[in-house]
Structure 1
């Protein structure tokens, strides 16, 4: 573990060492125990700004638990997102390269990403979050909320929201260690310590990954150079409850990465080059929660800071630097009450204020850039549940922006539960807005001027679906039809950007099925069909019409042994290729199927060995035109818990 986090990651090594020392000091000769697995309650923490029971959620939401990520031996959060209905994941090469996630055919920067309540989209990267550097260590759950969500979350949420929540500590202090190695000279490890009681809980840890990788430019196009990647991540969460009515939460995360990269030449595509990217990310939040009137009136006040920094280098010399910063303060008040004499109704009224300052800075040999923008949003939401069956939710938001006109967005959802048949009917309708990025407005080099006359993109979307349990609750089927439009879509045109007149239209269906075939055999499948075109009628790029996945999990030998089989199918999709003058044309990328196999065996109460094979049949494929992807790879490792 220390070998991974040494040298460039000295700060993370010290952090990990302190973590281990704390764990050993607090263990105090207690007998080792296995980490306990606790089932998560059927509650969404993302859909309505307040924890909402599954049967009352009218939006399309998919939740993946940390236990599921462990069974799959997921190392990057983006990999498990490939199995979520409605999502398309594109990585520009192997590990460490730009990774975009599109929800229901919207753009990558229409996806808002939260990590432990922190908005982490990068103002210096088109207000988009790059999933390349997000390791899956100690993730408790991933929630994906699909459809326009600007009424709750403001700009960046036209497509939807992805919320990643870190595990919370509980019980006596527990130390967890993991180490693995394998193909492409890959070495990865993590360490964490966690614990908690009535008045506190905490988790702190570090994770590292190093690989010599494969060529970023497709090797089969004559690019043999290997491009490596290194990632060191440290994280900590502390929750203090000095009284029954108050909780103080502190969250911090630091990521340091170094990615070798290649270049792209018009008329040729990606080719080997002596280039690399070095950067870091810092996320932090402090939050206070006060509950009054026997938990019927809740106040939440939070302050967040996010910083993204990266240097682009050629032959070891920095050619350009980018920095994005976000400062945010938010307040939320929730009031819970009941009117039992009127339809046995339960009510939740929410008011929130969110103020955010975004700044982007860039320096290069051609130009410099330093701009910022402030936005303040006012949110009101009302939710009512009637007769424990029908839940209606309405949300309204007003945004004040120092550059654009004020914007109003809204969202309506409904859910009707039929307990006798295990059925839930649901529907939602919402509007969204995406402000132009600072670079799109003001440019950042002498060859890209920007366009200060850009208008915000506007989205409208609705969906309707059913969640149906059957076979004595051993199976759950969810089906959704969605339809959404994006008006004034912003696209690059030569040396600037412009709003595309008219509306881009996307529609499709999402299917999910979970089956407990046997007591120790579970299957989970997903399928998405989508059709999207811009206002000119051209098919949207990097949005395959067909995406499907199947995951089988099998436990045997008294649950000491586990096998997991994952299959991901990505249909044909369009992409752009550029000629020598950088005029673009549409090309088609072939469909591909990836098969992954993972297994583990508990050799004792606190030691487990594991192994996996990724891309079992050595499929050659491209997610982005002319960029390479890894072939078959194998890894083995060990997990320890004390």
Structure 2
């Protein structure tokens, strides 16, 4: 049940919104929101969001601007069916967050349809750095596809796919953006784009600072984060049907803070470089081709005091990736066929365990462990009758490992879906998707110091004999389309694991487990009322129990409502967004005070004023009611009440953006 305080807040917000809605029909406004957003993630081809026949959400450019979403994490919190494991108020919060979709940490993250990481296995596939693309001015939209999509996107796409779509260069303009807020937050942004005949360019630079923050109880969490990011994009139009783009992005982030749970100070850094080249060619009326190449490097370091002594605990990574995607499409009135090749090559440059020992018992380490994977895929949507569509797909994976790892056999995955248009506005569909997850470099060669070992000795926790994880996801969905801008969707899913990669507390290493399960449903209402109001409402219900995964220990929501209400008229626009969280309690730890609250609501408020088309003043208030809440706890491990990582309390940011 919702407690009285949260119920009162929700009631007040509802009354205010309904009261304002009563005015909308009497107002004559020319302001409007983006209609019928186009998405590409559902089937690897462009189509209207309301026509995808898939469990998909999109956060549009308008939402990003009007709600002043500052990071990719802020954006993803708007999406139903996503769960976060964030480490709290201080500097670490600004850099590392665990994200789940439908309860799974096996999530594929793409930028413009191309992976940014791979071979991260059960340890890190669900972790992302919030600064990974923090130039939100360069993002057109973020698409989230829930449920297994391994046939379309390959290994790791069990929980879903996050596709960050960058903006197209559509004219010559520059902008500067300055903001300052509580919690020591400062942000400085510059963005410039231009079009010179067939040539286009875009360059940007961002600098963000975060300092000490307070949680909802007023407790101060010391920390400091400094993030710099910059990049450039160049495009060339050979003709109206052939476009070439090249872009380079670089992020550098340093952070430090105090961990009150383990009573340690910590510091770390994160650096990434990525170069991408992409050619998009519409060959003729029916055939098109897209070729993409991305090279990226990621280096991380994290250090903390060890047992309050002079010794230190640290963990680092130094990874590089090369990706190639070749995709061919054929479409006509009855068929939409996509086929191609995905190639991934990953290398870990740090000295890692080989699983072999010298005669003296010392662990043998070597550098440059590698993994490769060749994937061939084909996907077709066949409209075999006026209201019936049959979809099917196959993917063939051919992985390669180095000599220190066990050989992994080739694998074939399949998917199928049947859709029926009951009316022009109502559609039902049902399908099944198999998934296949390669063991990552992090779980094969894992090594770290155990917290209970005072010597700080690095121990081998990896497993060179791990087999891929496998399973399938079944889905049933319904969509009602009010119009091109408004729709209601309801999707039920069940994910069954036949093989799982997880961490064993008994053997203190990664192992294969059998029989995991996750099931639930996701509902969302996207509605535009008049020309000024826009509503997004989502509800996700989840049950999950997967061996070797700690999510079922009390981390995840049984139910979670997400909401965003936006108003746009003349020189003003405003929005309220947030979520209401109901935790699924674990009976094993029901007697411990593991969290500040198991039911809570978080509200954010954004207000923008534009005296002219070039100048905007804005403010954003996060955690409007200063709620004490947390997503990570140590209670389930060491059973000490109150040992959670508090999220920030109320944060106020004020800024100005000027275009010229």
Fold conserved (TM > 0.5)? yes
Partner Cα separation in structure 2 for residue 605 and residue 279 of structure 1: 37
Q: How does 1:402-551 map to 2 (within 5 A)?
A: 402=400, 403-417=407-421, 420=424, 422-445=425-448, 446-470=458-482, 475-494=486-505, 496-499=508-511, 501-534=513-546, 540-541=552-553, 542-551=555-564
Matching of residue 278 in structure 1 with residue 282 in structure 2 = no
Q: How does 1:37-56 map to 2 (within 5 A)?
A: 39=34, 41-54=36-49, 56=51
Matching of residue 603 in structure 1 with residue 611 in structure 2 = yes
Residues 505, 534 of structure 1: 8 Å contact kept: yes
- Change in CA separation of 1:539 and 1:38 when aligned onto 2, cut-off 3 Å: closer
Partner Cα separation in structure 2 for residue 81 and residue 545 of structure 1: 18
Matching of residue 243 in structure 1 with residue 239 in structure 2 = yes
Residues 75, 137 of structure 1: 8 Å contact kept: no
Paired residue for 2:349, among 361, 368, 372? 361
Deviations 1:190-235 (A, max 9, x none): 11112337734432212221011337xx897x98551111111113
Partner Cα separation in structure 2 for residue 360 and residue 592 of structure 1: 41
Partner Cα separation in structure 2 for residue 387 and residue 190 of structure 1: 52
Q: Could you tell me how far 1:617 is from its partner in structure 2?
A: 1.0
What's the TM-score once normalised by structure 1's chain length? 0.83
SS of the residue corresponding to residue 433 of structure 1 reads strand
Deviations 1:157-213 (A, max 9, x none): 111100011111113x10111111010121012111123377344322122210113
In structure 1, the residue matched to 2:22 is none
Partner Cα separation in structure 2 for residue 93 and residue 576 of structure 1: 25
Partner Cα separation in structure 2 for residue 198 and residue 480 of structure 1: 46
Q: Could you tell me how far 1:272 is from its partner in structure 2?
A: 4.1
Q: How does 1:575-594 map to 2 (within 5 A)?
A: 587=594, 590-594=598-602
Q: How does 1:270-419 map to 2 (within 5 A)?
A: 270-292=261-283, 294-314=284-304, 319-336=314-331, 338=332, 345-362=333-350, 370-386=368-384, 389-402=387-400, 403-417=407-421
Residues 56, 391 of structure 1: 8 Å contact kept: no
SS of the residue corresponding to residue 68 of structure 1 reads helix
SS of the residue corresponding to residue 232 of structure 1 reads strand
In structure 1, the residue matched to 2:403 is none
Residues 575, 587 of structure 1: 8 Å contact kept: no
In structure 2, the residue matched to 1:20 is none
- Change in CA separation of 1:443 and 1:101 when aligned onto 2, cut-off 3 Å: closer
Partner Cα separation in structure 2 for residue 311 and residue 247 of structure 1: 38
Partner Cα separation in structure 2 for residue 639 and residue 554 of structure 1: 19
In structure 1, the residue matched to 2:565 is 552
Residues 436, 457 of structure 1: 8 Å contact kept: yes
SS of the residue corresponding to residue 271 of structure 1 reads coil
Structure 2 unaligned residues grouped into runs of 5+: 1-30, 354-362, 401-406, 449-457, 634-643
Partner Cα separation in structure 2 for residue 78 and residue 56 of structure 1: 26
Residues 417, 429 of structure 2: 8 Å contact kept: yes
Residues 213, 229 of structure 1: 8 Å contact kept: no
In structure 1, the residue matched to 2:207 is 208
SS of the residue corresponding to residue 631 of structure 1 reads coil
- Change in CA separation of 1:636 and 1:104 when aligned onto 2, cut-off 3 Å: same
Task: Give the 4+ runs in structure 1 shifted more than 6 A.
Answer: 315-318, 364-368, 536-539, 575-578
Deviations 1:237-256 (A, max 9, x none): 22211234432111221111
In structure 2, the residue matched to 1:9 is none
In structure 1, the residue matched to 2:621 is 613
SS of the residue corresponding to residue 177 of structure 1 reads strand
SS of the residue corresponding to residue 645 of structure 2 reads coil
Deviations 1:578-636 (A, max 9, x none): 9xxxxxx9956622211111101112221110012111111111110121211111111
Partner Cα separation in structure 2 for residue 275 and residue 54 of structure 1: 43
Partner Cα separation in structure 2 for residue 576 and residue 133 of structure 1: 36
Q: CA RMSD in A?
A: 3.1
SS of the residue corresponding to residue 349 of structure 2 reads strand
In structure 1, the residue matched to 2:572 is 561
Q: How does 1:57-96 map to 2 (within 5 A)?
A: 57-94=52-89, 95-96=93-94
- Change in CA separation of 1:493 and 1:47 when aligned onto 2, cut-off 3 Å: same
Deviations 1:108-148 (A, max 9, x none): 2x100011233122656634441422323321111111111
Partner Cα separation in structure 2 for residue 101 and residue 576 of structure 1: 24
- Change in CA separation of 1:378 and 1:53 when aligned onto 2, cut-off 3 Å: same
Matching of residue 121 in structure 1 with residue 117 in structure 2 = yes
Q: Could you tell me how far 1:436 is from its partner in structure 2?
A: 1.3
Count of matched residue positions in the alignment of Structure 1 and Structure 2 = 578
Partner Cα separation in structure 1 for residue 609 and residue 624 of structure 2: 20
- Change in CA separation of 1:104 and 1:335 when aligned onto 2, cut-off 3 Å: same
